[in-house]
Amino acid sequence: MPWRKKWIDPEEYEDKEELGRVLSKRAYEVWVSEVMLQQTRVSTVIPYFNNWVEKWPTVQDLAEANHDDVLSVWKGLGYYSRATRLHEGAKAMIAKSAGASCALPSGATELQEFPGIGRYTAGAVSSIAFGEAEPVLDGNVARVLSRQLGLYMDVKDKKATDVLWDMADRLIKHASNFPETRTSEVPGLWNQALMELGSTLCTPRPRCDECPIQSTCRTYSEGKALSDKRQSVVVVPDIEDACSLCASLDTEDLVAVSEDATNDEPPRANKKRKAATKQTNTISQYFSVGTPKSNVETEDEEEDLDSPPVEDSRKRKLPAPTGESKSISTYCSLFPKKVAKKKAAEEDCVRPAKGLLASLWQFPQNTLTASHKTPQQRKTSAQQYISDLDAGAADMSKARFVASFPPLVHVFSHLRLTMHTYQYRIDADKAGDIELTCKGPPTRKWVDSKAMDNETLSTGMRKCWDLVSESL
């Protein structure tokens, strides 16, 4: 990964101006990489990152960039607001630094004052670039800590988030020997190691046999105890000492847990299992004398939940996982608690194929109501919308319908959008007199079809244009 570099030790630089420039560039690269990696695979980010830092190698260069160029270079990464916030943040940093050699502050608190930098990104930049003992907490780190602590909680819940942030902070300060040692390479290495562990081994389908911190993992030890059917003296804890954080985990389904449980969805029992009278089993029962055996029977053998064996640099194959290790990994896969995702809202809209609006250009669009169910009703809505559209000197009331296209479905994280695309034509006696750019807000402009490839369109808009362009 091109953003992974050796930590810059300030003690090695006598020239403070040079040190400031080097640290500023390093912090800028970490910042860009972390923003690009949000909801994007590493393999996808690498070429974008290389292209970005080649075009704008410093935060000063990015601050002076044209915003349309920024969006153009980002094209294909999605979530374009991230690019906008990077650009706005760079401009704010340069304005605030007032010519200082290092435009980015080293402290996580100060970094969060800039657009688009939250607690996680601030912690990553502060620890990796500047060596300060600041924690990070992303999905991978939250999963690692949830299993290490044995916390059966929804890690997106505020109470869980507060606990995990606090633990991440305590751990990194202990590992970094803070406050005796203020800055070193340890914080950056520690945070990157946690993120790496969560993305490679402690995944939703964990490879517990290969985990280097298996011995300190509370969830692993619980899973092993369940597998060994270890018995212990019944101890009824005082209600004041009971855990008030974890949700109740009903272990009746553990013997029939399906592969669904190893993904980021709530565990579901195997559909083919035959359950007799359901009993109320909780984790505590499995650690007490006389725990009854589950009366759940299964028709299918337990599915192999482990990932394929990996090989090290010498191509040595790892031993095949045993039945016990599968059982432990299955138990660990239940942590953290999975919560059913909310179904994305569904929406229909019509998009005439001429005219553009918004900073990230898109075709004029009109959200349809439940009454627009038939093709004719949608066509009528599109005609009405484009007739009322303000597009400068062009008389949109004379727009003639040319064609309609099959609906396109574009899924966002929060929305399932069905797009109905329509093409219209406007004849004008003096087309040359029509202003190509129409003042807003929002700004609109007319674009020659041959120049459309150079426009910064979102993925959904590009799909709409591809439909229309094929018919031209």
Strand partners, 415: 345
Distance CA 32, CA 55 (A): 13
Residue type, 399: A
Element (H, E) at 62: helix 59-63
Active site residue 297: no
- Write down the domain spans for the chain: 345-469
- CB contact set of 280 (below 8 Å; sequence gap of 6+): 250
DSSP 306: S
Each residue's pLDDT tens digit, 273-290:
444 444 444 444 334 333
Q: What is the domain class of 345-469 according to CATH?
A: alpha beta
For the chain, how long is the longest CA-to-CA vector? 93
- CB contact set of 73 (below 8 Å; sequence gap of 6+): 48, 51, 52, 55, 83
Distance CA 221, CA 208 (A): 11
- CB contact set of 82 (below 8 Å; sequence gap of 6+): 35, 36, 38, 74, 116
Distance CA 61, CA 166 (A): 36
Distance CA 199, CA 212 (A): 14
Instruction: List the catalytic residue out of 18, 29, 34, 470.
Output: 34
- Among residues 164, 196, 190, which one has the least CA distance to residue 175? 190
- Among residues 414, 469, 447, which one has the least CA distance to residue 79? 414
- CB contact set of 288 (below 8 Å; sequence gap of 6+): 231, 232, 233, 234, 235
What is the predicted pLDDT for the residue at 13? 95
What is the predicted pLDDT for the residue at 277? 41
- Taking the CA atoms of residue 240, residue 241, residue 245 and residue 251 in that order, the dihedral angle to the nearest 10 degrees is -120
Strand partners, 345: 415
Q: Is 150 helix (H, G, I), strand (E, B) or coil?
A: coil
Distance CA 70, CA 86 (A): 9
Helices (H), 202-299: 218-228
Single pTM value for the model:
0.73
In this structure, are strands 345-352 and 415-425 parallel, antiparallel, or unpaired? parallel
**pLDDT under 70 in the chain at which residues?**
229-242, 250-321, 344, 347, 351-359, 392-393, 412-414, 440
- Among residues 375, 465, 391, which one has the least CA distance to residue 426? 391
- Among residues 103, 143, 146, 109, which one has the least CA distance to residue 126? 109
Distance CA 80, CA 75 (A): 8
- Answer for the pair 279, 254: CB distance below 8 angstroms, yes or no: no
What is the predicted pLDDT for the residue at 374? 87
Half-sphere exposure for 119 (CA within 13 Å, toward CB)? 10
Tokens for 206, please give them. 């964990």
Q: Which segments within 175-289 are labelled E, that is strand? A: 274-275
Helices (H), 176-230: 186-200, 218-228
What is the predicted pLDDT for the residue at 274? 43
Distance CA 226, CA 323 (A): 13
